[in-house]
Structure 1
Amino acid sequence: MADGKEEFSTIRQIHTVLVLHFIDGMKQNDIAAALNLSPSKVNRLIAQGRKLGMLKIAIESPFQLLVEIEQKLVAFSGLQSALVTPTVIGSPDSTLQQVGRAAANQLLETLRDGDVIAITGGKAVSAVVENIEAERPFNVTVVPLTGGVQGKFYTDVNHLATRLAERLGGSTLLLHAPLFAESSTQRDLLMDMASVREVFDLARKAAIALVGIGSIQTPGSSYFDLLPTSGPDREILARSGAVGEFLAHLIREDGTIADYPPNSRLVALEPADLSRCRMVMGVASGVEKVQPIRAALSGGYLKSLVVDEDTAHAVLGTTGSIRNVA
């Protein structure tokens, strides 16, 4: 065992190295030269300092409260991760853009060359796509998870897939089929077409699924806008028990697929088909998305969730700016 003098000498050397590296910001090679030590010795001294508990790192952040909400969401839902952004009071569009930027950064941190990314349509997914700023090209393939709806850029999933591939420097495989077939028989025929089957087979094996979580409340619901302004579909919708939309399927509070006839005409993967994805990232913002988010979480469809602070509070049922959320 080393005597007291040798032990003090070693501890003092460790202290000096820790101060130079973590306080003064010197590189280990520079410390080695300044103290006439080998780089490996400097590395060992830092490791010893950690082991002896001499190094304590504290990070003060204005976003600590958001981190705590993220931790609560993970504990509440069984998610692998959650990301919460500040809510811009009085500006839903700005709030959505902040959520989109955060999700875009998380996507880039998760992405690997060779990955397949499968996406839905929707305003939130569009916000993610438009906020992608890749520092280098990625060798990835982007595919749709659903058929498309013409007329709006954010409901045209082929447009979003192409745009995302362009921004990442990858390629895309498009799905030339509508979101709704005219009948369940036509839907089965479309799903069995070689070109459609190829896209969906690839989507089932995707590393990352980027998905919106839809409201069926009006106004502001992309799904509701797809239905006739009156008629049996809307009457049945009111009786179906559906509270939200996921991969264009209407789902109940417990996440199960609602007994709603248009579900049988969907040209889309089913929510359970995403279970093999490395990451299923849900992106949403706004009070109208609270019930749909809860339903998607109850169904176990998500592995990651990106939302704004007020929406997160409402999902958790904790105090936030949103009040009286069902």
Structure 2
Amino acid sequence: MSRMRIEGSKDAAPRALDYAVARTIYKVLLMYYQEQRTQADIGKIIGQSAATVNRLIKQGRDAGMVEITISPLFDFQHELERRLTAETGLEEALVVPAEFDDQDLVLRAVGQAAAHYLLSRLKDGDTICISGGKGVSAVVEGLRTTRSYKASVVPATGLVQGRHYIDVNHVASELAGRLGGTAYQIHAPMFADSDEQRDMLRGVSAVADVLDRARKASIALVGIGSVLAAGSSYLDFALRTWSPKDRAMISNAGAQGEVIANLLDATGALAPYPRNALLVGLAPDDLRRIPCTIGVAAGPAKVAPICSVLRGGYLKTLVTDERTASAVLDSMQEKS
């Protein structure tokens, strides 16, 4: 938001302008900037052409009769964005105000900001690879388009049955539907039961084709997951699918965060967790080769995971809220 002040004092007006001209310019400036009249309308009022009105406006600006100030409404978020890019290696950061205590509402606002950013980068012919998760689902929910895109949406991992937001095929279909694009589906589980089964699944032509498309995507849209925190989708999946022992295994591996179902340690490297090797999906290093990688996360439980992903250098852009961004910067500084 900007504010416009029209200077009308005798000290501001007479820079190389005589009084009569300065008075006319002042009247024109008031009508143009404060009354929001068009130059054509102003011309009719003062009996001059629109071109003359345009010239008078320029004269007034050059003479110092117009002062524009930008409201500091978003200064705090802008400073956080500047620091995130300067201190973490990100190319871009989007920080939204944390206007709510309800984390679901905060994530919704973050999703809307990420959706707007996605559309600003999306071109016809692009391929978007995605993870499942609440963050990516929030982006899909926040998406508002004015046209259709000839874009493809492909899963970055195998499939998890269950809640709609962790079902990557469902999320891909929803995103493609809102964009007017094409969704590819993967017909393989997220994790194999053995090395042999993993190799077999990755070797199935339909699965291999989807994962190859994901690796060659122009945009990656991924959530950043917590691991052991309450409400963690990964932990919920592990305890429902595997065994309570997996919680101890995850903790012993020093896992701090999750991206495209890969568990990472505090440095951003793959954690020594055996099930990482059984994943049917992209590796974190694959994200580095995608031109535009967008990570979406918000909330206190996501601070350590975001730090882990940033230290690994897997993202080009982070979209989060101001509280989470502040905590991430503090945490990164403490361990630097």
**Into which bin does the TM-score normalised by the smaller protein fall?**
0.7 to 0.9
SS of the residue aligned with 1:242? coil
Q: 2:279 aligns with which of 252, 260, 266?
A: 266
State the match for 1:244 in structure 2.
257
Q: Which one has a bigger Cα radius of gyration?
A: 2
State the match for 1:139 in structure 2.
150
State the match for 2:291 in structure 1.
278
SS of the residue aligned with 2:251? helix
Deviation at 1:162, TM superposition (A): 0.0
Give, as a single letter, the amino acid of the residue that structure 2 aligns with 1:119: I
Taking the aligned partners of 2:154 and 2:62, their CA distance within structure 1 comes to 48
TM-score with structure 1 length normalisation? 0.84
Taking the aligned partners of 1:173 and 1:216, their CA distance within structure 2 comes to 28
Q: 2:320 aligns with which of 307, 313, 316?
A: 307
State the match for 1:110 in structure 2.
121
Taking the aligned partners of 1:185 and 1:54, their CA distance within structure 2 comes to 76
Q: Does 1:230 align with 2:244?
A: yes
- Kept in 2, the 8 Å contact 1:117–1:208? The answer is yes
SS of the residue aligned with 2:306? helix
State the match for 1:200 in structure 2.
211
- Kept in 1, the 8 Å contact 2:133–2:223? The answer is yes
The range that moved more, 46-55 or 80-89, is 46-55
Cα deviation, 1:154-195, whole Å, max 9, x if unaligned, reads 111000000111111111111111100111222122222221
- Kept in 2, the 8 Å contact 1:217–1:288? The answer is no
Deviation at 1:314, TM superposition (A): 0.8
State the match for 1:92 in structure 2.
103
What is the root-mean-square deviation of aligned Cα atoms in Å? 3.0
Q: 2:191 aligns with which of 170, 175, 180?
A: 180
Taking the aligned partners of 1:49 and 1:132, their CA distance within structure 2 comes to 42
Give, as a single letter, the amino acid of the residue that structure 1 aligns with 2:223: G
Gap runs ≥5 in structure 2: 1-13
Taking the aligned partners of 1:184 and 1:55, their CA distance within structure 2 comes to 70
Deviation at 1:30, TM superposition (A): 5.6
SS of the residue aligned with 1:62? helix
Give, as a single letter, the amino acid of the residue that structure 2 aligns with 1:256: A
Q: 1:220 aligns with which of 227, 231, 235?
A: 231
Taking the aligned partners of 1:257 and 1:152, their CA distance within structure 2 comes to 26
Q: Does 1:154 align with 2:165?
A: yes
Give, as a single letter, the amino acid of the residue that structure 2 aligns with 1:312: A
Cα deviation, 1:219-252, whole Å, max 9, x if unaligned, reads 2111111223423x33332221221111111111
TM-score with structure 2 length normalisation? 0.81
- Kept in 1, the 8 Å contact 2:135–2:297? The answer is yes
State the match for 2:7 in structure 1.
none
Taking the aligned partners of 1:181 and 1:30, their CA distance within structure 2 comes to 71
Q: Does 1:129 align with 2:143?
A: no
Structure 1 residues 48 and 181: alpha-carbon distance in aligned structure 2, compared to 1, 3 A threshold: farther
The range that moved more, 49-58 or 252-261, is 49-58
Deviation at 1:21, TM superposition (A): 4.6
- Kept in 1, the 8 Å contact 2:294–2:319? The answer is yes
Structure 1 residues 69 and 37: alpha-carbon distance in aligned structure 2, compared to 1, 3 A threshold: same
SS of the residue aligned with 2:69? coil
